[in-house]
Amino acid sequence: MKSLKVLDLENLRNDNMSKVLIISDLHIGDKKNQDDFFSSNGFYDFTSFIAKYIMVNRKEISKIILNGDFFELWQSELANAFQEYNRLFQMFSIISLEGIEIIYIPGNHDSVPFAKMSYDSAKYNIPMNFYGINLVDTYDKCEETGLLFPYYSDGFIWVEHGHRFDEYNRDTSISSTGEKVAGLIGDLENIGLKDIDKELEDKYLKNYYIAREEAKNNNTSLVLELLKAFTSPRKNTDAYKKFREESFKFAENKLSKDKKIIVIGHTHHPELEIQDNITYVNDGCWVSSPQSFCLYDEEDHSVELYKWENEKAILISKN
């Protein structure tokens, strides 16, 4: 029997590999009705993105960061996700064999069990990986609540999912309100109400301010809080403004360099904004349009935001 040859990934790298590709919010589920990654064609577009962008540019990419909500574990089981998307995970294995490091940062929809696994990986100094994907082992822990927020940082850039800035979704315990409501929505979708999440958004979130006042006047705050917990912060709401303000403030305090970059996901809205010496980037998602990602250059610390459309990467903005 021939002995297996261990690949030296460092020797596969070259001086041009300075790009870090950051994506988030795939929400990989089980291909049932509630699986937005599958039903939105995100799965097909993302596999095309791997073949026609990542593999084509593999000599320039040093890292891929999966920035949270990689899995949809509020509405599906992890074992089913691995089984239904086995071919996709095989593609990640091929990417890692090209010498590209793949780093996975858990978000709120996949915090259980992965945030705790990140904590254990750091505590016991045991690397955790699957299909060439390496679970990040750096995290912030809120001493008051015990909540864990995994992240990646090199001093200039801070990358994390961002749910810590969302007061309705930062608690990712299995009994959280957000998890319960998402589970209920998933059950409704599976019995035939495939567009119930979109209908709820159209009916209630576009009238956010009216609904908020009605909740105060009619004592319906519980219903409103459930709707808030189910959704991420939406544009033109107080929650969204607060989310962004806390993100800028956090980057100012956490990063020590003159040029500071914070990259988050969670809201599904791709965005790049510069305030003073801080660049705020939201890398968007792959379950709705536009499907998007960002590129960070480790050498000159620049960042670019792209959308993936008609099998092409189209620049949205850069710093």
Residue 145: per-residue pLDDT: 82
Model pLDDT, residue 298 = 95
Q: Cβ atoms within 10 A of the Cβ of 122, count?
A: 14
Task: For the chain of 319 residues, list the mean pLDDT of each consecutive stretch of 10.
Answer: 42 70 97 90 97 97 98 92 97 97 96 93 94 96 88 96 88 59 62 58 48 54 50 71 93 88 95 94 95 96 97 96
Other Cβ atoms less than 10 A from the Cβ of 177: the count is 17
165: nearest Cα among 255, 71, 261, 262: 262
Q: Which region, left, alpha or beta, applies to residue 293 given φ > 0 means left and ψ of -120 to 50 means alpha?
A: beta
Please say whether the beta carbons of 298 and 259 come within 8 A.
Answer: no
User: Which residues, in sequence order, are bridge partners of residue 272?
Assistant: 281
| pLDDT value, residue 181 | 60
pLDDT (0 to 100) of residue 227:
55
Cβ-proximal residues to 251 (8 Å cutoff; 6+ apart), any chain: 158, 260, 261, 262, 278, 280
The residues that bridge with 64 in the sheet, in sequence order, are 21, 102
Are 177 and 225 a contacting pair, CB within 8 Å?
Answer: yes
- Could you give the C-alpha distances from 313 to 107, 291, 298, 316, in angstroms and in order? 25, 10, 20, 9
Write down the pTM of the prediction: 0.81
SS (H, E, C) the chain: CCCCCCCCHHHHCCCCCCEEEEECCCCECCCCCCCHHHHCCHHHHHHHHHHHHHCCCCCCEEEEEEECCCECCCCCCHHHHHHHCHHHHHHHHHHHHCCCEEEEECCCCCHHHHHHHHHHHHHHCCCCEECCEEECCCEEECCCCCCEEECEECCCEEECCCHHHCCCCCCCCCCCHHHHHHHHHHHHHHCCCCCHHHHHHHHHHHHHHHHHHHHHHHCCHHHHHHHHHHCCCCCCCHHHHHHHHHHHHHHHHHCCCCCEEEEECCCCCCEEEEECCEEEEECCECCCCCEEEEEEECCCCCEEEEEEECCEEEEEEEC
Domains annotated on the chain, with CATH? 16-171+237-318 (3.60.21.10)
Cβ neighbours for 56, distance < 8 A, ≥ 6 positions apart: none
* Helices 221-230/177-190 angle, 10° precision: 80
